[in-house]
């Protein structure tokens, strides 16, 4: 089920969306005696491909089981601050088109 929602880190993919969809899928799963966060750690690599999987392999051991830290790092790696700044500038300089033309 989780492998149907893969993320490879391409420019047109949004890591926030991927994490939200992954989280929704995980809420449907329950293993007796396993914490939700542990389940997410176990399943998350199966949703990754390509450079996203490589980056996860390098990053995950440093996070020492902290799911929140992994999510933050994942989002910053694939949706960097520079992209956020560009989007904010687009909003700031948005000009409403004249609809009367």
Residues in the chain: 101
Give the single-character DSSP code of 4: G
Q: Where are the alpha helices (DSSP H) in 1-101?
A: 15-27, 36-43, 50-63, 67-78, 81-92
Per domain, the residue ranges of the chain are: 2-92
Query: What would the pLDDT profile of 14-37 be if each residue is shown by its tens digit?
Result: 999 999 999 999 999 889 999 999
pLDDT tens per residue across span 43-92: 999 999 999 999 999 999 999 889 999 999 999 888 767 777 777 888 88
Share of the chain above pLDDT 70, in %: 92
- Hunting for tokens 């880190």 — which residue is that? 9
């Amino acid at each position: 089920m989780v492998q149907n929602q893969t993320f490879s880190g391409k420019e047109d993919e949004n890591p926030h969306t991927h994490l939200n969809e992954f989280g929704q899928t995980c809420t449907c799963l329950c293993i007796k005696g396993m914490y939700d966060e542990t389940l997410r750690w176990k399943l998350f690599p199966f949703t990754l491909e390509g450079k996203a999987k490589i980056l996860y392999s390098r990053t995950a051991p440093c996070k020492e089981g902290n799911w929140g830290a992994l999510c933050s790092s994942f989002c910053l790696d694939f949706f960097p601050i520079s992209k956020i700044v560009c989007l904010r500038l687009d909003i700031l300089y948005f000009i409403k088109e004249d609809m009367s033309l």
